[in-house]
Amino acid sequence: MIFIEEIHTAIKTGSSVPVIGLGEDNEQKFIKLFGSGDSVYSLITEFIISSIAEALCLPVLSKQLVLIDENTTPNVLYEEVRDMIRKSFGINLAYTYYEQNNSVSIQEVLRDLPLIHKQRLFLLDVLFRNIDRTSHNHGIIRVNNSLCISDFGVSLIIRSMMNGKIHNDGIVTNQLLKEHCTYTEDITEQTIQDFFECIQKVHFHTIVHNIPEMWIRICSSLELVKAKNVLVELLMKVASDKNAFTDFLSVIYTTERMDEQEQREKKAKNRKKFEEMMGLK
């Protein structure tokens, strides 16, 4: 595990507040703090789904577990961010930081991401209800001339699992998934069959076992081993129910898209949530 020596930049956009810091390996890290709002749920979700994506041979950014403690220097302007850093003493999730010029347009994504990757990314995000991957927020960057996928933290199925609840889909979830950046209705039954055959081979037990114990303890009232076993069982159940998935996909196909007013209202709601979390209002 890599120790973070200094945190020097907070990225105050979106629904969370990631930071940039310097690791003991002298590498800049893009860090998602577990002490930011309800980010521990997002970190667990990101850890699980990105691990599944990697097992499906999708080109995902390589994640790292990093340590932040009282010896980490918080060189950031906002007291709210320094407070979040203190609340995040322990294990956090990080990626190698790449400059903004590594960002790509949706046109580049659709042009350069191989068809099988576009289809599997769409199917994976639909399966776990990742409602936050749109044309304007696709979470894909270019690294060494190849596209890499990130941002799996808003997968509603995992969040429901951690809360001990059954996720109930609604019209808004369906509409948001219809805005997915690689949305397509040209997916064959064979493509879905191949996807489920691959995902059923994923070692869910290993993925869940590797989640930091402190994250699980924060989110679950169950004893640690039981909490992990329940999570594995629920993941295997979702990954084995192809019929339910096919039915849900059909519902998305027949759902009407959000109009511009609904999209503006959604953005305003997300912005308000962010400002309240940061104490800006």
Kindly tell me if the per-residue pLDDT of 145 is higher than 50. Answer: yes
pLDDT tens profile 210-251: 999 999 988 887 888 998 999 999 999 999 999 999 999 999
CA distance 203 to 76: 40
Half-sphere exposure of 115 (CA within 13 A, CB side): 5
Q: Count H helices, E strands: the chain?
A: 12, 8
For the chain, the helix, strand and coil percentages under 3-state DSSP, each to the nearest 5: 50, 15, 35
Using DSSP's 3-state secondary structure scheme, residue 189 falls into helix
Q: What is the CA radius of gyration of the chain?
A: 19
Task: Grade residue 261 by pLDDT with cuts at 50, 70 and 90.
Answer: low
Task: Read off the pTM.
Answer: 0.88
What is the spatial distance between Cα 234 and Cα 161, in angstroms, rounded to a whole number? Answer: 7
